[in-house]
Amino acid sequence: MGRLAGFRYRQIVQRIKALGFQFDRQAAGSHEIWFNPSTHRYTTIPNHPGQRKGDILLFLAPPRLTA
Protein backbone atom coordinates (compact mmCIF):
# COMPACT_ATOMS: atom_id res chain seq x y z
CA MET A 1 0.00 0.00 0.00
CA GLY A 2 1.08 3.57 -0.57
CA ARG A 3 2.26 5.90 2.14
CA LEU A 4 -1.02 7.83 2.06
CA ALA A 5 -3.37 4.86 2.22
CA GLY A 6 -6.08 5.29 4.84
CA PHE A 7 -6.70 8.99 4.17
CA ARG A 8 -9.75 10.61 2.66
CA TYR A 9 -9.57 12.36 -0.73
CA ARG A 10 -9.49 15.87 0.76
CA GLN A 11 -6.68 14.95 3.13
CA ILE A 12 -4.63 13.56 0.26
CA VAL A 13 -5.21 16.68 -1.84
CA GLN A 14 -4.00 18.87 1.03
CA ARG A 15 -0.87 16.74 1.42
CA ILE A 16 0.07 16.58 -2.24
CA LYS A 17 -0.50 20.33 -2.64
CA ALA A 18 1.93 20.83 0.24
CA LEU A 19 4.41 18.66 -1.69
CA GLY A 20 4.08 20.97 -4.73
CA PHE A 21 1.61 19.02 -6.88
CA GLN A 22 -0.97 20.87 -8.98
CA PHE A 23 -4.16 19.52 -10.53
CA ASP A 24 -3.38 18.71 -14.17
CA ARG A 25 -6.46 17.04 -15.65
CA GLN A 26 -9.37 14.68 -15.15
CA ALA A 27 -8.55 11.12 -16.16
CA ALA A 28 -10.82 8.17 -16.91
CA GLY A 29 -13.76 7.79 -14.57
CA SER A 30 -13.22 9.34 -11.17
CA HIS A 31 -9.43 9.56 -11.30
CA GLU A 32 -7.42 12.77 -11.39
CA ILE A 33 -3.92 13.43 -12.70
CA TRP A 34 -1.73 15.73 -10.60
CA PHE A 35 1.64 17.16 -11.70
CA ASN A 36 4.60 18.47 -9.73
CA PRO A 37 6.41 21.10 -11.84
CA SER A 38 9.55 21.11 -9.69
CA THR A 39 10.13 17.33 -9.99
CA HIS A 40 8.35 16.82 -13.35
CA ARG A 41 6.44 13.87 -11.88
CA TYR A 42 2.80 12.85 -12.25
CA THR A 43 0.55 10.94 -9.87
CA THR A 44 -3.01 9.62 -10.14
CA ILE A 45 -5.54 10.02 -7.36
CA PRO A 46 -8.89 8.19 -7.29
CA ASN A 47 -11.87 10.24 -6.15
CA HIS A 48 -14.66 7.71 -5.69
CA PRO A 49 -17.87 8.92 -4.05
CA GLY A 50 -18.70 6.99 -0.90
CA GLN A 51 -15.19 5.61 -0.67
CA ARG A 52 -14.37 3.96 2.63
CA LYS A 53 -11.40 5.05 4.66
CA GLY A 54 -8.40 2.97 3.65
CA ASP A 55 -9.49 2.40 0.06
CA ILE A 56 -7.35 5.17 -1.44
CA LEU A 57 -3.90 4.12 -2.59
CA LEU A 58 -1.31 6.67 -3.63
CA PHE A 59 2.23 5.90 -4.59
CA LEU A 60 4.67 8.80 -4.42
CA ALA A 61 8.08 7.41 -5.23
CA PRO A 62 11.11 9.69 -4.95
CA PRO A 63 12.75 10.41 -8.30
CA ARG A 64 15.46 7.95 -9.19
CA LEU A 65 18.76 9.57 -10.03
CA THR A 66 21.37 7.81 -12.08
CA ALA A 67 24.96 8.84 -12.52
Q: What is residue 2's predicted lDDT score, i.e. its pLDDT?
A: 57
Q: Domain spans of the chain?
A: 9-46
- The model's pLDDT over 44-57, given as tens digits with 9 standing for 90+, comes to 888 876 544 444 44
Averaged pLDDT, 30-38: 92
Query: Could you tell me which residues come within 8 angstroms of residue 16 by beta carbon, excluding any fewer than 6 positions away?
Result: 34, 43, 45, 58, 60
Q: How many CB atoms lie within 10 A of CB 30?
A: 13
